[in-house]
Structure 1
Amino acid sequence: MSEKYTSLKKVFDKLHHGKYYESDFSSSDVDTAIQELKTICQVLPILSIDTQRDITKLLVAAQARHLQEVLKYKADGEEKYHNLLKEYQNFLQRQTTVTTSLVDVPAKESANSDHAGSSEYDETSLSSYMVEKKSKDNSPSIIDLSIVNSPTKLAEDFKELYNTEWIDAFEALKNSGQIRNEEDIIKKLSTMLMLAYELCREQARKHRGKITEALVHPLRVAESAAEVEPSTEKMLQPTARQIQQDTGVYALPAIQEIFKHTHGGGLREIGWDKSKEIMTYIESCVRICWLFSIQDPPMKLFWHDEGSEMNDNLKEYKYTDHGKVVNFTVWPTLYLHENGTMMSKGVVQAF
């Protein structure tokens, strides 16, 4: 941990040893620690959204000297704190590696340019491009988000979401007793993902519009009259998309809040906002769908219609008998883009 994060380290060291009092750390120490936490999370936007939230809960409880609250959040908060340190150290190590590799860019530049017209996704070319871009910007401290959030990595994350958070949320809904039918539980989880996907696609479109407005009317972006001529908007579209892809991940916390504002009322009415497993699933859905939406071009999720024929892009849900026709989609198929290469097979209930 960098020396600039001494307050965060100090507070957690004291908490770990059971020292919670004003003589151990001051209220201003905690304020500084919270700001340091925000700074770390800002350069690690790929972290689960509950990491910062749960660590902050522990810090706030410690600042108020509420011992019961501290003990309540201590185990989870400390675990996430140590995971955060590990991720941050990995981040610093990656930046050191990228900086060291800058000397290799000229030798690879001509080789990479030979593949500029290839339609096949090339992770190596993308990495080389980002290293060259970092060299030009002279900004080795900025994380390689276009590499970390590459289509291949996102496809892996999408599979992991189904294999982990989806299963946890399924079990939480099943155990809650609110929905007894397994098919209804699956459809409800699918609907949550679809709502996240639709919202993120729409918000990404608006986000690109705001980027274009900022490029054309930098002093009027807050005004409703800051319109852009269609011809200018078309010309700037590639630039706006590139800016969004490079920096859009930093808008993720705001997108999470928009989703909660739009759909949170329904979740609170049925008490699902109290379930850690369900909320983690929803937050993960919004995260992955936002990252899909800011790709250039955007990645596509496809829910297969009832009655459509089974094909090679589908897997049958593991609890069902074999069938030739889709009954309903359990998990959508992921494509690189509209009419693009399949990145992850969908899962369906067949009959």
Structure 2
Amino acid sequence: MDTHIEQLLEYILKGSEHEVHKHLPAAKQERDEIKQLVGTQESSQTEAYGKLKVWLEQLEQGKEIFRGKATQTLQVFRDHLKPLLKNIEEQRHYTDTTRASDHDTDNRRSFKASNPIERNREVSEAIQKAEQEKNIIERSKRAGQALRHNNPDIADLSDTNRPTKIAERFSELYDNEWTEAFEKLSKNKITDKKAIGLLLHIVQSTNTFCKEQAETMITSMISSFNQNKETDQEKQMKVKAEEAIPRLKWDFAEEVISMCERLKIPKPSNDGVLIRFAKQATELCWWMNVQDPPVYMCPTDDTRKTDFDPNLYRAYTKTGKHLDFYVWPALKLHENGGVLYKGVAQMTN
């Protein structure tokens, strides 16, 4: 049975605008249900949810949705997210079938509640159970902290800037700000390949910039921690990292303006799409580099095509056996870690 999201995508492909608006609210409700589950799922589902979220927001804002993107979104949804909705429906069915038996149980409990001895016994058991659960939670928390220490493959799900979340936002950056900046450059009569090269250079340059800034900040903070042993180091590191973001964005934005002048590209405005792209890229690269260990952005040097790993990239507009040029970087959990996000590359035969 088709979900509301599938029906919405299929009506877009058919060009039925009335049915699209009719199914949009129900599709958004399904998206919100998926959100409750996807946070703890594998990275493929996290990335798929990110694309669906962006796509629905664009549709709600009245932006034109191309048929190719709708077809791609439909396939991604069916492969990675539809099973989650199926699990939700099965859970609802289970809940409905147990309500009748719960009603009988409530009647028996009302008898126990009227008996003082029985009531005291239940209160005592409830207190004991609460104590046991509290102890279990504390032990689990300590065990989780011990496991995560010096182990980047285990994520802290309470951290909104953990690597999987950064990768999700990095994917959204490519889908949204990158596309807007690319279209703006194209309108200035810049070739597609040159525009792609500029945007790729910007994201790689800000990653290098943020890496240097992060190393400086961490070195300074470690010196401070050595003087004050009682400081909550992890908390202080996050606070300092957050405070640094506005300055880093503006510093690198100025570098992008200088970069455009050197390349004889029209100077971007401070609130233009190219600067917005650069600032968002800077914030994400900053969070990548303050991780322990840092998230690794794979090199995109066209002069070293022999190092190209096809397992780290998906095709841009052409498929093939060999690399033509890079479009968007791939991310790894750390330099020797697993793939966090597949990049984009133009292929050729």
TM-score normalised per structure 1: 0.52
CA distance in 2, matches of 1:176, 1:105: 62
Matched residue, 2:177: 165
Provide, for residues 285-343 of structure 1, a one-character-per-residue CA deviation record: whole Å limited to 9, x for no partner: 111001111111111101344323452221011x22x2112222111111111111211
Matched residue, 2:313: 314
Matched residue, 1:335: 332
Matched residue, 1:248: 241
Supply the AA of the counterpart residue of 1:265.
S
Distance apart, 1:148 and its partner CA: 1.4
Residue identity (%): 26
CA distance in 1, matches of 2:152, 2:291: 16
Matched residue, 2:276: 280
**Does structure 2 retain, via aligned residues, the 8 Å contact 1:304–1:326?**
no
Distance apart, 1:217 and its partner CA: 6.7
- 1:154 equivalenced with 2:166 (yes/no): yes
User: Equivalences for 1:340-351 in 2 at 5 Å?
Assistant: 340-351=337-348
Distance apart, 1:111 and its partner CA: 2.9
Matched residue, 1:208: 218
Q: 1:280 to 1:261 in 2, by over 3 A?
A: closer
Q: Specify the SS of the correspondent of 1:337.
A: coil
Q: 1:260 to 1:213 in 2, by over 3 A?
A: farther
CA distance in 2, matches of 1:112, 1:171: 48
Q: 1:338 to 1:240 in 2, by over 3 A?
A: farther
CA distance in 1, matches of 2:337, 2:139: 27
User: Equivalences for 1:184-203 in 2 at 5 Å?
Assistant: 184-203=194-213
Q: 1:120 to 1:205 in 2, by over 3 A?
A: closer
Match of 2:252 among 253, 256, 259: 259
Distance apart, 1:126 and its partner CA: 4.3
Q: Specify the SS of the correspondent of 2:334.
A: coil
Q: Specify the SS of the correspondent of 1:326.
A: strand
CA distance in 1, matches of 2:291, 2:320: 35
CA distance in 2, matches of 1:201, 1:241: 18
- 1:297 equivalenced with 2:293 (yes/no): yes
**Does structure 2 retain, via aligned residues, the 8 Å contact 1:331–1:347?**
yes
State the aligned residue count: 207
CA distance in 2, matches of 1:105, 1:272: 56
Supply the AA of the counterpart residue of 1:330.
V
User: Equivalences for 1:120-131 in 2 at 5 Å?
Assistant: 121-123=153-155, 126-127=157-158
CA distance in 2, matches of 1:217, 1:310: 45
Q: Specify the SS of the correspondent of 1:164.
A: helix
Greater helix share, 1 or 2?
2
Distance apart, 1:155 and its partner CA: 0.9
**Does structure 1 retain, via aligned residues, the 8 Å contact 2:253–2:278?**
no
Matched residue, 2:138: 109
Distance apart, 1:152 and its partner CA: 1.3
Supply the AA of the counterpart residue of 1:156.
E
Distance apart, 1:107 and its partner CA: 2.9
CA distance in 2, matches of 1:292, 1:349: 25
* Higher Rg of the two aligned structures: 2
CA distance in 1, matches of 2:269, 2:205: 16
Matched residue, 1:96: none
Q: 1:113 to 1:215 in 2, by over 3 A?
A: closer
CA distance in 2, matches of 1:199, 1:120: 23
Q: Specify the SS of the correspondent of 1:254.
A: helix
Structure 2, unpaired ranges of 5+: 1-131
**Does structure 2 retain, via aligned residues, the 8 Å contact 1:172–1:277?**
yes
CA distance in 1, matches of 2:315, 2:332: 18
Supply the AA of the counterpart residue of 2:214.
A
Supply the AA of the counterpart residue of 1:150.
R
Q: Specify the SS of the correspondent of 2:346.
A: strand
Q: 1:108 to 1:281 in 2, by over 3 A?
A: same
CA distance in 1, matches of 2:201, 2:240: 28
Q: Specify the SS of the correspondent of 1:153.
A: helix
CA distance in 2, matches of 1:154, 1:162: 13
Q: 1:187 to 1:241 in 2, by over 3 A?
A: farther
Q: Specify the SS of the correspondent of 2:311.
A: coil
Q: 1:183 to 1:215 in 2, by over 3 A?
A: same
CA distance in 1, matches of 2:279, 2:225: 31
CA distance in 2, matches of 1:261, 1:105: 52
**Does structure 1 retain, via aligned residues, the 8 Å contact 2:152–2:292?**
no
